[in-house]
């Protein structure tokens, strides 16, 4: 069982930056690939970024490549999403997710555990 709690969301102007954090419970965190997904109002939840359980493999949605960076700290059971050059279309609830032995998967069914999410609002 893994519990995930996101933080770091908020209101920011276009062009600004935010750093999201996801704290994971449990002692096997290093065996989980981690992902960030987002859901905007009236839209389906979509993939943002992922990092593998081993080897530091990362994957990004085309819409965030070059602007967002995912990282993890296994010693702290944390995963982060650094978001730069934010745009109004990035406005969404951001969720982190954990998949056992997942290798930077972009598909939601690779992930077993999900956090409640943190709101990110980017004003024009």
Q: What is the pLDDT of residues 62-111, one digit of tens each?
A: 999 999 999 999 999 999 999 999 999 999 999 999 999 999 999 999 99
Q: What percent of the chain has pLDDT over 90?
A: 95
Q: What percent of the chain has pLDDT over 70?
A: 100
Tell me how far the alpha carbon of residue 74 is from its chain's centroid.
15
**CB of 71 within 8 A of CB of 85?**
no
CA distance 122 to 50: 22
Q: What is the pLDDT of residue 27?
A: 73
Q: Which two tokens stand for residue 117?
A: 């999410």
Q: Which two tokens stand for residue 123?
A: 């004003």
């Amino acid at each position: 069982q893994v519990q995930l709690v996101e933080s770091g969301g908020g209101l920011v102007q276009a062009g600004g930056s935010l750093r999201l954090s996801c704290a994971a419970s449990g002692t096997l965190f290093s065996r989980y690939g981690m992902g960030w997904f987002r859901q905007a109002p009236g839209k389906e939840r979509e993939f943002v970024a992922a990092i593998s359980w081993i080897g530091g493999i990362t994957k990004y949605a085309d819409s965030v490549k070059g602007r967002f960076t995912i990282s993890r700290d296994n010693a702290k059971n944390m995963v982060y999403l650094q978001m730069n050059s934010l745009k109004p279309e990035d406005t969404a609830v951001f969720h982190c997710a954990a998949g056992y032995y997942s290798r930077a998967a972009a598909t939601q069914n690779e992930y077993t555990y999900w956090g409640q999410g943190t709101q990110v609002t980017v004003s024009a």
